[in-house]
Each structure stands twice: as C-alpha cells, then as structure tokens.
Structure 1
Amino acid sequence: MKDVDRGALTISAVLAGVAGYVDAIGFLDTGGLFVSFMSGNSTQAAVDVLGPGASVTLASAGIIAAFVAGVAAGGVITALRARPRGWIVGGSTAAVAATAALALGGDSTLWRVALLAAAMGALNTLFLADGRARVAITYSTGTLVSLGLAIASAVTGGSRHAWQRPLLLWSSLVCGAVVGALAHGWGSPLALAIAAATLALVSAFLATRRSAESV
C-alpha cells in the first residue's frame, strides 16, 4: 500500500466507504449475507451446508461466484485497457444503478445482491501489481493485517506512519457501513441510488484526472 500515491489513496478510501455502505444494505436486505465480505459468506455457506439452511448455502455460493466474476471482469479490463480504472468504476456504477432500479421494481433480492457483489469484486482490481491487489478496498481482513504489520514495524524501528493508511481504509469501510445502515431506513432503491451517484462522481473524477495527466 505504501507505493500508492495520495490521490489513489483518497479514491481508495472513498470506495472503501462505498463498499461498507453497500455491504450494510445487502446484509440488511438478505437478512445476514454480504456483498463485500466474502469470508463471512464462506463461513455462512459452510455452517448451513449440512443443516436445514441449504438454501442459504446456495445463496452464499451464488454471491461468492458473482464477486469472483466481478474480480475476473476487472482483471480482464485491466489487461485490455491502457487506463482501466475509469472503466472499472464506471461498470460498477452501472451495476449499482441497475440494482437500485431492480429494487424499485421489487425484483428478486438475490439478483440484486449478485450484481452488487460483482460490482464490489471489480473495485478490488483498481490497483493491481504482479497480479495482486495493492489495496484491499472491500475486505477488512487484509486491511487489518496490513494495520497490524505496520504497527509491528513502528514498534521495531520501521516507519512510524505506515499504520495510518490501513487505518484510514478500515475506518472508511466501517463508517460507510454505519451510513449504509442508516440510509437503508429510507428504502433500498434510494439508498442504492446514493451509492451509484457516489461511484459516478468517482468515475468523473478519474476521467478528469486522466485528462489532466494527458495534457
């Protein structure tokens, strides 16, 4: 994460907030499943696989598959496009906007959360290096590991400031989840429309930044 500049870190923090926000909405809509936190869905699927909740296992597996598909799509875009970030955020914006429209029409919750999971998966491919994500945008476990290692580094004579970046991302995700839970009270269509609008602003910012860099 230390090789990510401040502009990219700001974008990452905003997107982590959106991920937490959307995850809270998905969690409340499904009654306990996630669109960003795949470790939670994996555990949920495993717990219910032999119990009475086989349908929960199938739903969890479907959401995980959608998330992985989103990551794969982002990876393909990164490989084929010279400046893929705008495409990735733009595609995620369209997916979240589509879920808002589906929610307004009252369509199946699982179709909506699958789209959201794919969008969140794609966001993790914004900052790739050597086939790995340099910034864990939607999953807090990797960010907390980075935080713990940064604290260890500070204690043992390393950088005294490296802990600030993972703490910022984790805090952004948690704060986003709090706001998402509150926004859910206004109804999923409006709450998801707000998320889509935020992503659209990030996409526009990326386009402006790209234009400025090309001058």
Structure 2
Amino acid sequence: MLPDSAFYTARGRRIARLRGKVGLCMVAALSFLAGMTDAVGFTATGDFVSFMSGNTTRLAVSIGERDYSSILTISTLIGAFIAGNAIGVIVTRLVGRRSWPLLLCVGALLCLAGLISIALFSLVCTVIAMGMINAVVEEVNGLPIGLTYVTGALSRFGRGLGRWLMGERKPGWRVQLVPWVGMLLGAIVGALLQGYLGITAFVINGLLVFALAASSLAIPRRWQRNYMPK
C-alpha cells in the first residue's frame, strides 16, 4: 500500500488532471461560441465583435481615411469590449466567482442582440457579451487562456514548439491549440448560420450559452474559482 502522503499526492495529481480536462472542455466550448459570434457579426455587418486587434487596425485605417462614421462605430465597439471585460470581473466577484450567473448574462445579451436587429445596438450588446465571457475561464491549472482572441494562444504554441524542438519538455504548450481550434470550428458554424438566419443567429448563440450555463452547475465550485479571475 502507498503511504498516506504518497496516496494524497497521487490523488491530488489525479484531481488536478481532471480539473484541467474539464477546464479545457470549457475553453473549447467558450471559444467555439466566441468564433460563432464573431463570424455572425462579421458576415452580417462587416465588424468584428471579439477580434479587437482587427478592429484596432480598422480604426487606424479609418482615421487615416477620415472616415468619421467608421471611427465612431469602431471606437464604440472597442470601448464596449473593454467595458464587457470589466463587467465580467465585477459580476464574478459579486456572485462569489460562480460561472453560471455570468453565462446567463452573456446569453441574455446575445439573445437581445438577435431579437432587436438594429445593427449598432446588436453589435454593442454582442461585444459586451464577448468581453464578459473572458471572465469565465482565465487560466487552467496555471496556464493562461484566451477565449475570444487566439493570437496569444498561437504565439504561446509556437514558442512552446520551438522549445520542444530544442529539447525542452515543458508541458502545457500543446493545449494552446484548444481555443484556436474551438474558435475556427465555431466561426465556420457561425458563418453558415448567418447565411440562413442573418443577425438573428445571435439568438442561437445565446441559447447555447444558456445550455453551457446549465452544464457548468456540475463543475465543483472550487474548480470554477481556479478558472476565474482572482
């Protein structure tokens, strides 16, 4: 038999691995939803709702071209994204770092965006939702995770690959592909949905977030606290 200390160490490792797998499943699902949402917004209006690097470049081009209408729209979206991230942290603190209340808020905003099909209103609601969703999972077993942006994930994956090719065997770099694959697949589905439903496709996204909120109730609260912002 294992000594008590060895037993608890082995048990702790098993729990950490399981917590990591559950966290990565959440990351995959949330990145899929972010990809869906961004694709619906972009194909319907030409504006990004989660890709603020793209919007920043578009803002700079609009300033250079003196396109004041685009400057106002894009600046509003970037501000809404910042506000959404801040609101996400505030909500998680107010609800004791539980994910389901935050997800319900995100789902409600997406449904509202799909039901009230006024372009700028829908975009602002959606961008706020995408900012908020980043507070659901910030890290998994100490590894930083981005849900609505994947440039950082691809960068961390590439640097990890370089270290692996140089003989280093540090774990964790491969999981950075999870949000990228999730966002890619979600964007494909979102583009197809938008082709059939237009901007109303945001409602489908919102309903999926509600389903994810319900499933998150099965995740132990102490695990959720490890995923969410400190």
Q: How many pairs are equivalent?
A: 205
Query: In the aligned structure 2, how far is the partner of 1:158 from the partner of 1:43?
Result: 36
Given candidates 51, 58, 62, the residue that maps to 1:48 is: 62
The one-letter code sitting in structure 1 at the alignment partner of 2:115 is A
Partner of residue 78, structure 1: 92
Distance 1:40 1:186 in 2: 25
Shift of 1:126: 1.7
Q: Residue 103 of structure 2 aligns with which residue? A: 89
- Normalising by the residue count of structure 1, what TM-score does the alignment of the two structures yield? 0.86
Match of 2:150 in 1: 140
Q: Deviations over 1:124-175 (max 9, x none)?
A: 112347xx99310000111111211221232233337634311121011011
Secondary structure of 1:209's counterpart equals: coil
Whole-Å Cα distance in 1 between the matches of residues 143 and 87 of structure 2? 14
Residues 40-85 of structure 1 show CA distances to partners (whole Å, capped at 9, x for unaligned) of 0011011111424221111111011111111000111233332331
* Rounded Cα–Cα distance in structure 2 between residues aligned with 1:45 and 1:212: 41
Report the counterpart of residue 21 of structure 1 in structure 2: 36
Corresponding residue for 1:7?
22
Give 2:177's aligned residue: 167
Distance 2:199 2:55 in 1: 23
Q: Does 1:68 align with 2:82?
A: yes
| Counterpart position of 1:127 | 137
In structure 2, what is the Cα distance between the partners aligned to 1:190 and 1:116? 12
Please give the alpha-carbon distance, in whole angstroms, between the structure 2 residues aligned to 1:212 and 1:127. Answer: 13
The 3-state SS of whatever aligns with 2:196 is coil
2:38–2:187: 8 Å Cα contact kept in structure 1? yes
Give the residue type in structure 2 aligned to 1:41. N
TM-score, normalised by the number of residues in structure 2: 0.81
Runs of 4+ in 1 over 6 A off after TM superposition: none
Amino acid at match of 2:52: M
Mapped contact 2:113–2:122 kept (Cα < 8 A): yes
Distance 2:121 2:168 in 1: 47
Q: Identity, % of aligned pairs?
A: 29
